[in-house]
Chain A
């Protein structure tokens, strides 16, 4: 009788486990089930599977690196078929929210390219699986001393995302048209006044980063904004930023009546000679864009002495990832020294590494040190000298929203002139 009762209880427990497993979101369930297993088990489970990676597909250099270099190596080494599909920040969050509302415990993508406010939104909504990133063998090489890598817009990744690369915002100028570009926000203001109609900034993420750099410069440095969002401090800094912009507005392109929609439009206006500066959140964008012919050969990047914002980008696994094991293997491969080195090459993508090259085996370390630099690149020591960290994503959100309300919508009386 007791044996029969035990058997019934065991069956019920098993059924409950099955039901709970069925109801658990696929990505989180896999991450949990792999938690205590050796890495070889993850590799075995990933072999022969497909991984769908939602990422920004707007740069041919990045696409070529992923499709032409990463994909074949994952197939050959791990038997993983990686498919990179379009999907960036806000879209990722919206998609996952809709999938959650539709009750899709097994979603459409296993890996996401994220950072900053997208990571914050996904974490806040509980749409990321984790923690898992500390399990990756190559995580041992990550530059754990760098706050720019270990904090994503001041947020602790907490194992819910794995670093992939790092970038630093920069302005782009033409060495022929502007042989002596301004080197600080004060000099930039003078330059804009002296060259009416030749400077602008876009309405998107890149310009918000530029404005945050201005906010640091006007507000006493990045350190004053560290430690979470402070409304009082933000409002005071915002007033200074908008006052700076308002004072220059008549001298901006189209008298500040309109702004290019995105950084691609900025590049086009710059290349066509309508404006004298473009900008990018990747200091090496100028290298790939001049090679592609998007920007003139004489274009170069530079950073202002007031400092420019550096940040990292990451990969995350959604809560309902259909193949979290495969996604972990892909994330580990992306962190590997050979994948990071290839990505860093100026003729590939020129994306900064997140590895501490001193921790690597000597042969790899030497290769990183010897990597050929492009004369169009901003020197590494200059970048390091002027790098400033990101602060709470709330600053980004508020500045973007307030700029739209207070600057973009406030059309000056005189508008539509040709200059």
Chain B
């Protein structure tokens, strides 16, 4: 590389770092503010630098039950959405009209605002909802209220199903794009070498698909775990989902307790960072094997 080319590359890298910093600055400022508010330095309940608030919140069993509940629900919703998206993308990967219709239907919830999706979840899954009324009309239950509780329920069934349905659309679009652009040549080669359909899927399609899909899956997991709009309409009051606990604390009638919200926010952020780091670790470990 000539000196001038090297200089250009360095300048380009510097511009890239500056642009990244501009994008990251609000996030970093937010993290800094949350950290200062957690430590009692800033915010409505600032009462002097101390770790007392952080300790109190992290020692509260309700914090951890809400944390575990949130990541469990997010993991289940993400798992179901991933399975459904991969299935839809593989089944409807052809160019027939039925394939195009199938993919369009799977991607249909994509433009829906999350709040609307959650409201649909209540409308369909609530004890006075569509399913309950259909079950009652069909004679399977003696009253709509006999329908098992799927909304505000302990296990978050309504929230899991609603978020899985909503996020299937996004993952289907990503999976379809991966199948269309990254597997075709390798699949053709495998078939030419005598691999049957299942072997081709298992040895070629699936490895490429899951490696390409994982960043989107991690994003969906983090997004669902931090989702307020869906949780407020569908989640139970105990354990209290982490996003609801954050809103709860941020609006506490007692001003002195509002700083708790920042501790919980940092906890949620920590969970997201761990998810991203785990993905990066797995990628670094597995990708060389794929080369």
Q: Please give me the residue from chain B that is nearest to A416 by CB atom.
A: B154
Q: Does A189 contact B (CB under 8 A)?
A: no
- Residue from B144, B145, B237 in contact with A261 in the complex, judged by beta carbons closer than 8 Å: B237
Within 8 A of B (CB), among A230-274: 254, 257-261, 265, 268-269, 272-274
Interface membership of chain B positions 9-50, coded 1 if the CB is closer than 8 angstroms to chain A and 0 otherwise: 000000000000000000000000000000000111000000
Stretch in B83-91, B186-194, B249-257 touching the partner? B249-257
Query: Of all chain A residues, which has the CB nearest B146?
Result: A418
Mask for A392-412, Cβ within 8 A of B = 1, else 0? 010011101100110011110
Residues from chain A with Cβ under 8 Å of B152 in the complex: 254, 258, 260
Nearest Cβ on chain A to B34's Cβ, whole angstroms: 12
Interface residue? A417 (CB, 8 A): yes
Interface check B99, CB cutoff 8 A: no
Q: Which of A208, A273, A401 is within 8 Å of B257, CB to CB?
A: A401
The CA of A140 and the CA of B275, in the complex, are separated in Å by: 62
**Which residues of A lie under 8 Å from residue B102 when comparing CB positions?**
none
Q: How far is the CB of B8 from chain A (nearest CB, A)?
A: 40
Q: Assuming the A-B contacts A101-B42, A409-B62, A416-B149, are A258 and B252 also in contact, with contact meaning beta carbons closer than 8 angstroms in the complex?
A: no
Give Cα A124 to B45, complex, Å.
12
Chain B residue contacts of A296, Cβ below 8 A = none
Q: Which residues on B sit within 8 Å (CB–CB) of A257?
A: 154, 236, 238
- Contact residues in B for A396 (Cβ distance below 8 Å): 253
B232 proximity list for chain A (CB < 8 A): 261
Name the residue on B nearest A258 (C-beta).
Answer: B236
- List A contacts of B154 (CB < 8 A): 257-258, 411, 415-416
Counting residue pairs across A and B whose Cβ atoms lie within 8 Å, the total is: 97
B126 within 8 A of A: yes
Please provide the chain A residues from 360 to 410 with a CB less than 8 Å away from any CB of chain B in the complex: 393, 396-398, 400-401, 404-405, 408-410
Q: B254 touching A397 by the CB < 8 A rule?
A: yes
In the complex, whether A197 has a CB less than 8 A from a CB of chain B is yes
CB distance from B32 to the nearest CB of A (A): 13
Write out, one digit per residue, whether chain B residues 238-260 have a CB within 8 A of any chain A CB (1) or not (0). Answer: 11100010001011111101100
Answer whether A418 and B43 are a contact pair too, CB < 8 Å, given A258-B237, A408-B237: no
User: Which residues of B lie under 8 Å from residue A418 when comparing CB positions?
Assistant: 127, 145-149
**In this complex, which of B128, B254, B257 has the most chain A Cβ atoms within 10 angstroms of its Cβ?**
B254
User: In chain B, what residue has the closest Cβ to A273?
Assistant: B128
Question: Which residues from chain A contact B62 at a C-beta distance below 8 Å?
Answer: 405, 409
A91 within 8 A of B: yes
Query: Chain A contacts of B223 at CB under 8 A?
Result: none
Chain B residues whose C-beta falls within 8 Å of the C-beta of A108 in the assembled complex: none
Interface size class of B (residues with CB under 8 A): 35 or more
A138-B224 Cα distance, complex, nearest whole Å: 52
Say how far A312's CB is from chain B's closest CB, in angstroms.
Answer: 18
Residue from B65, B148, B236 with most neighbouring chain A CB atoms (10 Å)? B236
* A152 close to B (CB within 8 Å): no
The interface residues of chain A, by DSSP majority, are classed as helix
Contacts A258-B154, A409-B238, A418-B145 given; does A90 touch B253 at CB 8 Å: yes
Interface string of B62-73 (1 = CB under 8 A from A): 100100000000
Most chain B beta carbons < 10 A, residue from A101, A261, A404: A261
Residues in chain A near residue B147, CB distance under 8 A: 418
Which B residue sits closest to A118, measured CB to CB? B253
Cβ of B155 within 8 Å of any chain A Cβ, yes or no, is yes
Q: Are B149 and A90 in contact (CB under 8 A)?
A: no
Partner of A90, one of B155, B237, B258: B258
Q: Is the CB of B44 within 8 A of A91?
A: no
In the complex, chain A residues whose CB is within 8 Å of the CB of B127: 272, 274, 418
With contacts A416-B149, A416-B153, A418-B147 taken as known, whether A272 is within 8 angstroms of B128 at the C-beta atoms is yes
With A124-B255, A401-B252 already in contact, the answer to whether A408 and B149 are too (CB < 8 A) is no
Residues A419 and B145 in contact, CB atoms below 8 Å apart: yes
Return the CB mask of A79-93 against B: 1 if under 8 Å, else 0.
000000000011101
Q: Please state if B237 and A274 are interface contacts (CB–CB under 8 Å).
A: no
Which B residues are in CB contact (< 8 Å) with A409?
61-62, 65, 238-240
Q: Which residues on B sit within 8 Å (CB–CB) of A97?
A: 43-44
Minimal beta-carbon separation of B187 from chain A (angstroms): 46
The residue in B43, B126, B152, B155 that gathers the most chain A C-beta atoms within 10 A of its C-beta is: B152
A156 within 8 A of B: no
Whether the pair B252, A90 counts as a contact (CB closer than 8 A) is yes
Of the candidates B44, B61, B244, the one whose C-beta lies within 8 Å of that of A94 is: B44
Question: Quick check: is A121 within 8 A (CB to CB) of the other chain?
Answer: yes
Whole-angstrom distance between the alpha carbons of A117 and B256 in the complex? 12
Within 330-347 of A, Cβ neighbours of B (below 8 Å) are at none
Bound CA–CA A197/B145 (angstroms): 10
Cα separation A97 to B43 with both chains bound (whole Å):
7
Give Cα A268–Cα B127 distance, bound, in whole angstroms.
11
Complex CA distance for A268 and B251, rounded to whole angstroms? 23
Would B44 and A203 count as touching, CB distance under 8 A?
no
Asked if A93 contacts B42 (CB within 8 A), the reply is: no
Query: Can you list the 3 inter-chain pairs with the closest CB atoms, starting with the nearest?
Result: A272-B128, A90-B251, A258-B236
| A-B CB contact pairs (8 Å), 19 listed | A89-B251, A90-B250, A90-B252, A94-B44, A97-B43, A101-B43, A125-B44, A268-B122, A397-B252, A401-B253, A401-B257, A408-B240, A409-B65, A409-B238, A409-B240, A411-B238, A416-B149, A416-B155, A418-B149
Q: Report which B residues bind A (CB closer than 8 A).
A: 42-44, 61-62, 65, 122, 126-128, 144-149, 152-155, 232-233, 236-240, 244, 248, 250-255, 257-258
A124-B255, A261-B232, A261-B237 given; name 4 further pairs at CB < 8 Å: A121-B255, A396-B253, A408-B238, A416-B149
